[in-house]
Amino acid sequence: MTKVVFIINSLTGGGAERIMARLLGNSAAKADGAELHLILLDVEPAAYTVPSSIIVHQLDTRGSLVGGLRQLWHKINELAPDICVSFLTRSNLLSILICRIKGIRCVISERVNTSSHHPRNAAGYLARFLTYIGYRHASRVIAVSSGIAKDLSENYAVPLANISAIPNPIDGEMIRKNGAAPVDLPHARPLIVGMGRLVPNKNFAMLIDAFAQLDSQGTLLIMGEGPLLAALEQQTAELGLQDQVVFAGFRENPFSIIKAADCYVLPSNGEGFPNGLVEAMCLGTPVISTNCHSGPSEILDDRPYFPIEAATECQYGLLVPTNDAKSLAQAMRQVLAPDQQRDRSALALQGASRYALDATIEQYWRAIRG
């Protein structure tokens, strides 16, 4: 029996973690009877669950690359898998090193545009260097957008023949079912929603600045947790928006809120394949995204990244330049215009229909098996 080990830092509340759980939860019919294991590198509260058929192994590497190498080496040695599949940079680098030494097929998934995602500091430069040294040695690299595939090939010497560009699996049926759940939203309209980790790269500070420019009596509701919460709350207070900006924390079911929204906004400086953007489209919520590397232009306009200088109408939503609060405010005015909602909702649904769950899971397993 083939033994496949999946590796990720944790199942805490993030996009990569959600997709790992979704992949494992929908793999029974595609895995051809393989024995499936999941290794979690760090002890973190789990926001997502996996089927009971998946054998879970909990390590305690405390975010350490060096400590993680020792612990993961022993666990891989114990399990002796045929294939390792990893998500996120630290898990990927550890998996590549161990699998190359042990002669195990190594499949990694790159979730972000490496060139734009990592910060311009010592840690960011180290991550880029290790990506350059390591990723070319993976048996197969799954990139969640063609923009990431291009970045890895051009800037990190990963052979294009070793890269499979596969979008994240989106469970439209589950999203729509959860979106139909009743939700109490005692907030003034229009309701603008954003979702993600409260970290610099997600750039919720720019979204708050853009909302301030609307001079609206509506509400901006941000779902997510992270280290910037206090700073964002302070920014909101300084702008006099504390009664209009709601920090709603992590929500196990964000979809009923997104469905109720008048607009969903992704303000990031860098993405790979922004799950929340497609999930909002599945619910028929009009969407706006920054034109960051990589993913949004492919999702909203069926083409790789292209430069823009102002709010730009696309096939399924609007793109705005990164770090441009003025353009984002203009895009929100366009989307919230009274005669826009029905058409934009239909376009969002049409765009979401391109991401079918079963077909995407099958693509993942073709790449895993090689």
Give the separation between CA 200 and CA 204, rounded to whole angstroms.
Answer: 8
pLDDT at position 14: 80
Give the separation between CA 322 and CA 312, rounded to whole angstroms.
Answer: 12
In 3D space, the residue among 76, 43, 88 whose CA is nearest the CA of residue 62 turns out to be: 43
- Average pLDDT (209-223) is 95
In 3D space, the residue among 160, 236, 241 whose CA is nearest the CA of residue 198 turns out to be: 236
Sign of the CA dihedral with 10 first, then 15, 18, and 22 last: negative
Contacting residues for 359 by C-beta, under 8 A, at least 6 apart: none
- Residue range 142-178, pLDDT digits in tens: 999 888 899 999 999 999 999 999 998 899 999 999 9
CATH number assigned to the domain covering 3-169+356-369: 3.40.50.2000
> Starting at the edge strand that comes first in sequence, how are the strands of the sheet with 35-40 ordered?
55-58, 35-40, 3-8, 83-87, 105-110, 140-143, 163-165
- Residue range 252-295, pLDDT digits in tens: 899 999 999 999 999 999 888 898 999 999 999 999 999 998 88
215-242: b or e for each residue (b if 16 or more CB lie within 10 Å)?
Answer: ebebbbbbbbbbebeeebeebbeeeebe
Query: 82 by DSSP, 3-state: which?
Result: coil
- Residue 129: pLDDT above 80? yes
Q: What is the largest CA-CA distance in the chain?
A: 62
Transcribe 300-349 into DSSP letters: HHSS-----SS-EE-SSSEEE-TT-HHHHHHHHHHHHSTTTHHHHHHHHH
Query: 253 by DSSP, 3-state: which?
Result: coil
Query: 148 by DSSP, 3-state: which?
Result: helix
Q: If you average pLDDT over every residue of the chain, what do you get?
A: 93
For residue 114, the surrounding DSSP H or E stretch is helix 114-117
- Residue range 5-49, pLDDT digits in tens: 999 999 997 888 989 999 999 998 888 899 999 999 999 999 899
pLDDT at position 127: 78
> Structural domain boundaries of the chain?
3-169+356-369, 172-352
114 pLDDT tier (thresholds 50, 70, 90): confident
CATH fold for domain 172-352: Rossmann fold (3.40.50)
Amino acid at 127: A
